[in-house]
Amino acid sequence: MDYTADETAIIWLCAQNFDYGTRVRLLRAASRPQNLLTEFGKISQSVIKRGEMRVYNNDCRSPEKSAEAVMAGMRDCGAYAVTLLSEDYPDSLKVIPDPPLALFCIGRRELLKKKKFGIVGSRITPPWAAKEARLVSERLAERFVVATGFAEGGDRAAIDGALGSGNLICVLPLGIDGCYPAAHHALKEQVREKGLLVSEYAPGTGLKKYHFHARNRILAGLSEGVLVASAGRKSGALITANFALEFGRDVFAFPYNPGIAQGAGCNELIKSGAYLCTGAEDIFACYGISSPSRERTELSETERRVLEVLRSEGEVHAAVIAERAGIPVYEAAATLSSLEVKNLAVKAGGNRYSAL
Amino acid sequence: MIAKIICYTLNGLDGVPVEVETDVNKGIPAYEMVGLPDTAVKESKERVRSALKNSGMLFPLHKITVNFAPADIRKEGASFDLAIAISLLKASEQLTEANTDGIVFLGELALNGDLRPVNGILPILISAKGHGYQKFVIPYGNAREARFLGGAEIFAAKSLSEAVAHLRGTAPIAPLETAEFSLRAKTRTGADLAYVKGQPMARRALEIAVSGGHNLLMVGPPGTGKTMLARCLPTVMPDLTFQEALEITKIHSVAGTLGEEGIVTERPFRTPHHTATTVSMCGGGNRVVHPGEISLAHGGVLFLDELPEYKRSTLEALRQPLEDGVITIARSAGVVTYPARFMLCASMNPCPCGNYGSAELTCTCSPAEIRRYRARVSGPLLDRIDLQVEVDSIGYDELTSTQLREDSETVKGRVNEARRIQRERFEGRRVASNAEMGEREIGEFCALSRECDEILRGVFERMKLSARARSRIVKVARTIADLDASEKILPKHVYEAASYRIYDKLG
């Protein structure tokens, strides 16, 4: 991949150990970004106080050489960079107060320019919410590119839903060549093949606590709107939602029963004005996209009765369902299993089921 | 003079004849034992000496040599005492009038001349009878166990002097009457499904597991009655036949864990603690190879509570016996094969904190923690467990259905019926139950209609099941159909079978 001299300079700058503010100040001090490579010593003197340079622990004596090393690092892991100067840089991200200077990507570049919708959720997501998020993600991927993180729980559900169509962007909180959580290594391979991996961090950057916060701003910045599938009172998913609000994007949330800790944050969001979302239709409606509603599936008499019980009682134990529907327990188990396959019910653990 | 007496030692579950030869010669008094006796056998010198003296007989003050033939197998244990004492008496011409040909002597001597019971009487008697021996003198303490061997004359003596008096003909002992095998009416543990409150799903899974011989994993928070349910397993299993009882008794006799009755009348239920070593689980030992828990559970249930807490190597060692139904243990002393066809029932918590999936309590575990916890049980082992069911803490008051108060007897009736169907189906094959079916039998007996095939495909796609789960689901569906007395596997059977694969859905 070819980069202009300006772009090369920005990519090099992003790979250096400066914080975001310093990078921006350095860029401003240089009349043209490419000057950074040639006259870094001079430019940095006006930005970074003498003696402070040591703090950053960078080797800035020959920027041109180290820029080549950064490029080589990117080539090694098959990544490319999209800088603020690039045509492909997403417009929605450009308008946020602190857009990343460059995005390191692996995968389908064209996804960056498409309309994106974010789905986030905390790592501990109740089974029904995970399944519902997966379904919503699957439907949304028909019209949007689904943007999400890379964690377990809600993020994972969104990935699972959108991976099939490939309209998926995962924003990583560490260098594009890394994988966190490590258990998702195989998943990462799938995403890079079908979708797109994005990170603000150059290859080789390790994971830091504050990366998650910064990552969430990119996630919100990329998206037209954000769906919060699950969020406790202090969940990271709420940070993304707050960024989205700040950037003037729409926020959607799944409603929860009162008293369920994993949903307290979602309910708070709805109370303070987020859209209540119970399916992909709600999101489509908000963007004026007409969509056929969920196709009707043929149900047997028993299935219909069981589903009725599920809808009227919320999360119920299989034995209770059997009794209410007047069928033996083992038949209820079979029926619930078939409803599960038809995406109308979900197992909540402990032999409890709920309707979708 | 030389005397030869027949005794028996054990190799696994087989008795091996040992000839005890004693020679009493003139010379400096000495007492030698040759023929690879181990320490316990050598120690019998002192026991025999005291027992003879205290029974009013003479211990010869000559050069005594006792030889055990064949000399190449190691002799262990104290069961040679009686044979040594009798051969000494014969060799020192104190028992010239008695005919000891063709009599097998077994028993340990106490210093006062009493006979103590020994382990492994039944397998020895069975083997010896097979070798053509008809007369046995055994300790009275083993009489209960020996009664079940028909077609042989067994004399149970309380002491050495009784045995000698019997041989001399001065006070003959009446041979043991052969006992009729009868099952115990009530189980020892008193477990019965009638006492299990609620648990409709687990009850059903239990019934299916026993009907088709499937292994069972129960997942649930602590204190929800997993152990209680597991204890009920033997009570719904088909009654023991005499042949089965004999086989189980042989193992327990060798291990010395036989109860009062002398024969096993109910299916074993073994619960080794999770600190169990691989050797205690599978069998083994330094010189003598003892049967392990899996062999002691032969014909019954091996219950592993808190499955992830067991050492991984111990669990992995179960895989081969689970497939083959026997375990072959090789030691320097030789190779021993013990039967180990048991039903594996395991229980575990759903997550480290135990509250995952609970309605009232919140689980505080992260998905990674849960995955780590569950990964302690390896895939290949889980793969051998056809049924995985969640046991939950639902309140009894929430349910009123009478289905929940069924006792073991009723369930057993249905199980017996399902077993009968399977027996007829597998007539003349190596396979005895649905769980043992191989790919060939599955193809032959578990033909799926197009509709069922579609469903199974759907289930796979939606539930993200592993490929190897397929044959498991089909086998369980076959058992459910058998319980339903249905010739064909219907969609509902497939759906229900799929609902018992909760763990395949994880990562």
A219–chain B nearest CA distance, Å: 22
Domain residues for the domain of B138 are 2-168
Question: Does residue B450 sit within a domain?
Answer: no
Among residues B384, B415, B446, which one ends one of the domains? Answer: B415
Query: Choosing among A128, A298, A317, A335, which should be mutated to test the B contact, i.e. which has the most B CBs within 10 A?
Result: A317
Structure tokens belonging to residue A110: 């064209």
Q: Give yes or no: residues B72 and B138 share one domain.
A: yes
- Report the alpha-carbon distance of residue A174 to residue A205 in Å, rounded: 6
Determine the residue of chain A that is closest to B401 in CA distance: A323
Determine the residue of chain A that is closest to B458 in CA distance: A341
Task: Report the pLDDT value the prediction gives residue A211, as an integer from 0 to 100.
Answer: 93
Q: Give yes or no: residues B145 and B41 share one domain.
A: yes
Q: Which candidate, B467, B477, B478, B466, places its Cα nearest to that of B500?
A: B477
Q: Give yes or no: residues B158 and B201 share one domain.
A: no
Question: Which residues of chain A neighbour B456 with C-beta distances below 8 Å?
Answer: none
Task: Report the pLDDT value the prediction gives residue B506, as an integer from 0 to 100.
Answer: 45
Task: Report the pLDDT value the prediction gives residue B440, as an integer from 0 to 100.
Answer: 85
- Report the alpha-carbon distance of residue B138 to residue B163 in Å, rounded: 9
Q: Which candidate, B109, B95, B103, B108, places its Cα nearest to that of B125?
A: B103
| Interchain pair B200, A322: CB under 8 A | yes
Q: Give yes or no: residues B307 and B404 share one domain.
A: yes
Q: Domain total for chain B?
A: 2
Separation of CA A29 from chain center: 34
Structure tokens belonging to residue B131: 């070798």
- Report the alpha-carbon distance of residue A34 to residue A239 in Å, rounded: 35
Query: Choosing among A351, A352, A354, which should be mutated to test the B contact, i.e. which has the most B CBs within 10 A?
Result: A351
Nearest to A333 among B357, B458, B499 (CB): B499
Q: Which candidate, A133, A188, A127, places its Cα nearest to that of A157?
A: A133
Question: Which residues of chain A neighbour B354 with C-beta distances below 8 Å?
Answer: none
Nearest to B499 among A323, A337, A350 (CB): A337
Question: Which residues of chain A neighbour B368 with C-beta distances below 8 Å?
Answer: 152, 181, 183
Nearest to B368 among A152, A315, A335 (CB): A152
Question: Which residues of chain A neighbour B221 with C-beta distances below 8 Å?
Answer: 350
| Interchain pair A123, B366: CB under 8 A | yes
Is residue A106 within 8 Å of A85, Cβ to Cβ? no
Question: Does residue B278 sit within a domain?
Answer: yes
Determine the residue of chain A that is closest to B355 in CA distance: A350
Question: Which residues of chain A neighbour B499 with C-beta distances below 8 Å?
Answer: 333-334, 336-337
For A180, residues 6+ apart whose C-beta sits below 8 A from its C-beta are A150, A172, A173, A174, A207
Is residue A227 within 8 Å of A277, Cβ to Cβ? yes
H runs (alpha helix) in B275-407: 278-282, 293-296, 312-317, 319-324, 367-375, 379-383
Q: Give yes or no: residues B158 and B212 share one domain.
A: no
Determine the residue of chain A that is closest to B206 in CA distance: A330
Question: Which residues of chain A neighbour B220 with C-beta distances below 8 Å?
Answer: 350
DSSP labels, B265-285? -S--EE---TT--HHHHHEE-
Low-confidence ranges of chain B (pLDDT < 50): 506-507
| Interchain pair B495, A323: CB under 8 A | no
- pLDDT 10s digits, A120-163: 999 888 888 988 999 999 999 998 999 999 998 899 999 999 99
Task: Report the pLDDT value the prediction gives residue B187, as an integer from 0 to 100.
Answer: 59
| Interchain pair B499, A343: CB under 8 A | no
Q: Which candidate, B241, B285, B5, B255, places its Cα nearest to that of B122?
A: B255
Is residue A116 within 8 Å of A218, Cβ to Cβ? no
- pLDDT 10s digits, A59-71: 677 888 888 888 9
Nearest to A334 among B350, B368, B496 (CB): B496
Provide the CATH number for the domain around residue B135: 3.30.230.10
Q: Based on the number of CB atoms within 10 Å of its own CB, is A260 exposed (0-12), middle (13-18) or buried (19 or more)?
A: middle
**Structural domains for chain A:** 1-76 (no CATH), 109-286 (3.40.50.450), 301-355 (1.10.10.10)
**H-helix or E-strand spanning residue A67:** helix A63-76
Separation of CA B279 from chain center: 15
Question: Does residue B486 sit within a domain?
Answer: no
Q: Which candidate, B340, B339, B336, B341, places its Cα nearest to that of B16?
A: B336
Task: Report the pLDDT value the prediction gives residue B66, as an integer from 0 to 100.
Answer: 94
Structure tokens belonging to residue A351: 């032999």
Residue labelled with tokens 């908000």: A286
Is residue B282 within 8 Å of B321, Cβ to Cβ? yes
Q: Give yes or no: residues B280 and B410 share one domain.
A: yes
8-state DSSP, A176:
T
Whole-complex ipTM:
0.72
Is residue A269 within 8 Å of A253, Cβ to Cβ? yes
Q: Which candidate, A271, A249, A260, places its Cα nearest to that of A120?
A: A249
Query: Choosing among A299, A338, A353, which should be mutated to test the B contact, i.e. which has the most B CBs within 10 A?
Result: A338
Question: Which residues of chain B neighbour A351 with C-beta distances below 8 Å?
Answer: 201, 390, 392, 394
One-letter amino acid for residue A70 of the chain:
V
| Interchain pair B366, A124: CB under 8 A | yes
- Report the alpha-carbon distance of residue B293 to residue B282 in Å, rounded: 6
Q: pTM of the entire structure?
A: 0.78
Cβ neighbour number for residue B69 with a 10 Å cutoff: 15
Question: Which residues of chain A neighbour B498 with C-beta distances below 8 Å?
Answer: 337, 341
Cα–Cα distances in angstroms (integers) from residue A342 to residues A133, A316, A333, in the given order: 16, 18, 14
Q: Give yes or no: residues B307 and B261 share one domain.
A: yes
Question: Does residue B235 sit within a domain?
Answer: yes
Provide the CATH number for the domain around residue B264: 3.40.50.300
Q: Is B436 an interface residue toward A (CB < 8 Å)?
A: no
Q: Is A319 an interface residue toward B (CB < 8 Å)?
A: yes
Low-confidence ranges of chain A (pLDDT < 50): none
B437–chain A nearest CA distance, Å: 23
Task: Report the pLDDT value the prediction gives residue B363, as an integer from 0 to 100.
Answer: 77
Q: Give yes or no: residues B36 and B87 share one domain.
A: yes
Chain B 288-347, CB below 8 Å of chain A: which residues? Answer: none
Question: Does residue B181 sit within a domain?
Answer: no
Chain A 154-213, CB below 8 Å of chain B: which residues? Answer: 181, 183
- Report the alpha-carbon distance of residue B387 to residue B398 in Å, rounded: 26
Among residues B369, B388, B415, which one ends one of the domains? Answer: B415
Determine the residue of chain B that is closest to A316 in CA distance: B359
| Interchain pair A338, B495: CB under 8 A | yes
For B185, residues 6+ apart whose C-beta sits below 8 A from its C-beta are none
Among residues B415, B437, B461, which one ends one of the domains? Answer: B415
- Report the alpha-carbon distance of residue B192 to residue B413 in Å, rounded: 14
| Interchain pair A319, B399: CB under 8 A | yes
Dihedral in degrees, nearest 10, Cα atoms A162, A166, A171, A173: 90
One-letter amino acid for residue A168 of the chain:
L
B351–chain A nearest CA distance, Å: 11
Q: Give yes or no: residues B367 and B326 share one domain.
A: yes
Q: Give yes or no: residues B233 and B356 share one domain.
A: yes
- Report the alpha-carbon distance of residue B205 to residue B497 in Å, rounded: 10
- Exposure string (b/e) for B117-138, b if CB count within 10 Å is 16 or more? bbbbbbbbbbbbbeeebebbbb
| Interchain pair A340, B463: CB under 8 A | yes
Q: Which candidate, B211, B219, B216, places its Cα nearest to that of B237?
A: B211
Ranges assigned E (strand) in B367-504: 387-390
Question: Which residues of chain B neighbour A320 with C-beta distances below 8 Å?
Answer: 394, 398-399
Nearest to A123 among B200, B356, B367 (CB): B367
CB pairs under 8 A between A and B: 101
Q: Which candidate, A212, A283, A264, places its Cα nearest to that of A243?
A: A212
Q: Is A320 an interface residue toward B (CB < 8 Å)?
A: yes
Peptide bond into A292 cis (omega under 30): no
Question: Does residue B491 sit within a domain?
Answer: no
- Report the alpha-carbon distance of residue B322 to residue B385 in Å, rounded: 10
Nearest to B392 among A317, A331, A340 (CB): A317
DSSP labels, A232-250? -TT-HHHHHHHHHHHTT-E
Question: Does residue B176 sit within a domain?
Answer: no
Task: Report the pLDDT value the prediction gives residue B408, as an integer from 0 to 100.
Answer: 86
Q: Give yes or no: residues B328 and B266 share one domain.
A: yes
Question: Does residue B48 sit within a domain?
Answer: yes
Q: At what angle do helices A154-163 and A127-140 cross, to 10 degrees?
A: 40
- Report the alpha-carbon distance of residue A249 to residue A244 in Å, rounded: 5
Structure tokens belonging to residue A220: 């919100």
Task: Report the pLDDT value the prediction gives residue A245, as an integer from 0 to 100.
Answer: 93
Q: Give yes or no: residues B257 and B388 share one domain.
A: yes
Residue labelled with tokens 């299990």: B196
| Interchain pair B200, A331: CB under 8 A | no
Determine the residue of chain A that is closest to B393 in CA distance: A350
| Interchain pair A347, B502: CB under 8 A | yes
Sign of CA dihedral A101, A216, A229, A148: positive
